[in-house]
Amino acid sequence: MNKTDRRVFIKTACMACAGFAVVGVTSTMLTGCASIHIVKTHIEAGIIRVPLSEFTGKDKILVRSIELAEDILVLKHIEVGIHPTYSAIYLQCTHQEHEVSVGDKKLTCSRHGSQFDFNGNVLKAPAKKPLRRFKVTVSENQLEITI
């Protein structure tokens, strides 16, 4: 193999590896987000309203509003014999205000690796404060999230 052939081979191999890396990372990111239903809405008089029907067959949804920098994770809590309750967590890291992503068992800041449980409590630094939580009430077949 001469010098030119070797250079072409190395360049082609490096480009292929980079392409596989991008596809792998992208598909992993999309897989993590694909199972969570997103509800687009807006804030009206300090309240976000979400129809309860958005939770049909789901225990968590993301609420997205153009007025907020990040999404809100809304969780449905079910106990036998009791009406469901709901909690809302703002997906903005308390360390340096970057987006927090939703995993199967925890919430993670992709910027510096802070981790939180589904109550917003810090599991792993550098964040020291829990995630912001919002008051959630049920009124006439809809959730009202007070911002």
Instruction: List pLDDT tens digits, range 91-140.
Output: 999 999 999 999 999 999 989 999 999 999 999 999 999 999 999 999 99
pLDDT of residue 72: 98
Amino acid letter for position 80:
V
- 72-104 pLDDT per residue, tens: 999 999 987 888 999 999 999 999 999 999 999
Quick: pLDDT tens for 44-69: 999 999 999 999 999 999 999 999 99
* 4 — pLDDT class (breaks 50, 70, 90): low
Strands 100-102 and 107-109: antiparallel
In terms of DSSP bridges, do strands 47-51 and 82-90 run parallel, antiparallel, or are they unpaired? unpaired
Let me know: does 73 contact 88? Beta carbons within 8 Å: yes
43 CB-near residues (< 8 Å, 6+ apart): 65, 67, 68, 147
> 73-91 burial, b if ≥16 CB within 10 A, otherwise e?
bbbbeeeeeeeeebbbbbb
Q: 35-146 maps to which CATH number? A: 2.102.10.10
- Sequence letter at residue 44: E
pTM for the complete prediction? 0.76
The closest of 36, 17, 9 to 107, measured between CA atoms, is 36
